[in-house]
Structure 1
Amino acid sequence: MMTNVLVAHSSDVEKASFYKKTYLHVALSILAFIGVETVLLNVVPTELIAMMFGQKYTWLLIIGVFWLASMLANKWSLSQSKSVQYLGLGFYILLEAAIFLPLIYVAVLQAGVGVIYQAAMLTIAMFAGISAVAFTSKRDFSFLRNIIIIGGFISLGLIVGGAIFGFNLGLWFSVGMVILASATILYQTSKLKDSYTTDQYVGASLQLFASIMLLFWYILRILMSRRS
């Protein structure tokens, strides 16, 4: 049985196996993220966490390193080698845990652990609903690609501008990012079969995991803003 054929050109059995393995790895990635984040919250000094979001240029450096490392992880995820795909996924989980550390710390400090659970449940519910639409709808979501690219550049510019000049992007920016993350999940899910081979389910899970974490980030920020 060929394992380097696009999912779109594979048999129904192979498609089902690919999606099953992909979403299993997404779930395991989320669990791994929770485990790593818990360890970091318990071992990283609070002074270091405060420095991550207390200095604007430090945060810009973190964003820059995260962006470059994300590109490397995504490149690894597209490899035909399973070990390289796992390396990319594991590396990205560690990156996400590090970038989330100050946000989770502040959320727990200001609003309690409950807000984390609420944001997680909302994220999972939205991801499940969007995935259902992508799998059941017969529409072509290719038109979302340009919207996502343009929206991504605009949001990145606003984030960098906010970090440099010290202005608060506010609630509506977070709402817009939730919409952008949702559109990304819808587009990615509908295009998985055209982007990956049947043996690249680890890489496909990394792509979905990244979008889920983006959605979770801004849902959490919205919930925090409502409690502040």
Structure 2
Amino acid sequence: MMTDVLVAHSSDVEKADFYKKTYWHVALAILAFIGVETVLINVVPVEIISLMFAQKYTWLLIIGVFWLASILANKWSLSQSRSTQYLGLGFYILLEAVIFLPLLYIAVGYSGGGTMIFQAAMLTIAMFAGLSAVAFTSKKDFSFLRNIIIIGGFLSIGLIVAGAIFGFNLGLWFSVGMVILASASILYETSKLKDSYTTGQYVGASLQLFASIMLLFWYILRILMSRRS
């Protein structure tokens, strides 16, 4: 049976165990993403990858399906059933790998693309570590970021859809704004670990952090790519 005790109401030992399991699952999710992405890049035909970014309406369909499936994956990850939680996390990792496929394929094609991807990954890890440290050590309540993140999320989706339909480039400053939004999301998700989850929901907590990390990685990579183009 899973415990229903909130992390905030648990003992110090239980809190430490919850945090350890949460971040361990975040690390495993990242490793799983790398493995799945490597397989997809080597197995999926180039023609199919090209279709994902060559046709604007195909890309909009993919984004729409990803958004709906993300909601389902998040719901599964917060289930009281451990197996359902892992199903949600695994499903989300697969979705992220599919969404990242065309971006990483393009990045690999750049001169020194592998180094650029590695730099983006290191910057993402460094920023995630720094933001997590701020959230844990600061006594500030970051719950106010929730509305900012929601509004910013809807605005960004609207701009992405408009850009795809009308064919305009969102540019560097949009990517910078999304890095800020992803950073705010990491602060918010980290600060709410003790207040919004029970000690048995570390899989669901790891999915939320993983999602914010991948958003940050996406736009850091986009910024580095814009400097090469």
TM-score by length of 1: 0.99
Deviation at 1:2, TM superposition (A): 7.2
- Counterpart of 1:51 in structure 2: which amino acid? L
Match of 2:166 in 1: 165
Deviations 1:105-149 (A, max 9, x none): 000102421111000000000000000000000011111111111
CA distance, structure 1, for counterparts of residue 76 and residue 104 of structure 2: 28
CA distance, structure 2, for counterparts of residue 66 and residue 161 of structure 1: 17
**What is the aligned-residue RMSD (CA, Å)?**
1.0
Match of 2:12 in 1: 12
Which shifted more, 150-159 or 2-11? Answer: 2-11
Match of 2:83 in 1: 83
CA distance, structure 1, for counterparts of residue 53 and residue 194 of structure 2: 39
Asked if residue 21 in structure 1 is aligned to residue 21 in structure 2, the reply is yes
Matches within 5 A, 1:208-219: 208-219=209-220
SS state of the match for residue 198, structure 2?
A: coil
Match of 2:115 in 1: 114
CA distance, structure 2, for counterparts of residue 64 and residue 146 of structure 1: 22
Q: Which 5+ residue runs of structure 2 have no aligned equivalent?
A: none
Runs of 4+ aligned residues of structure 1 deviating over 2 Å after TM superposition are none
CA distance, structure 2, for counterparts of residue 214 and residue 82 of structure 1: 26
CA distance, structure 2, for counterparts of residue 60 and residue 115 of structure 1: 27
CA distance, structure 1, for counterparts of residue 29 and residue 43 of structure 2: 21
- Counterpart of 1:24 in structure 2: which amino acid? W
Identity %: 86
Asked if residue 66 in structure 1 is aligned to residue 66 in structure 2, the reply is yes
Deviations 1:3-46 (A, max 9, x none): 21110111100000000000000000000000000000000000
Deviation at 1:182, TM superposition (A): 0.1
CA distance, structure 2, for counterparts of residue 83 and residue 193 of structure 1: 23
- Counterpart of 2:69 in structure 1: which amino acid? A
CA distance, structure 1, for counterparts of residue 201 and residue 192 of structure 2: 14
Match of 2:147 in 1: 146
Q: Which 5+ residue runs of structure 1 have no aligned equivalent?
A: none
Deviation at 1:78, TM superposition (A): 1.0
SS state of the match for residue 140, structure 2?
A: coil
CA distance, structure 1, for counterparts of residue 188 and residue 17 of structure 2: 21
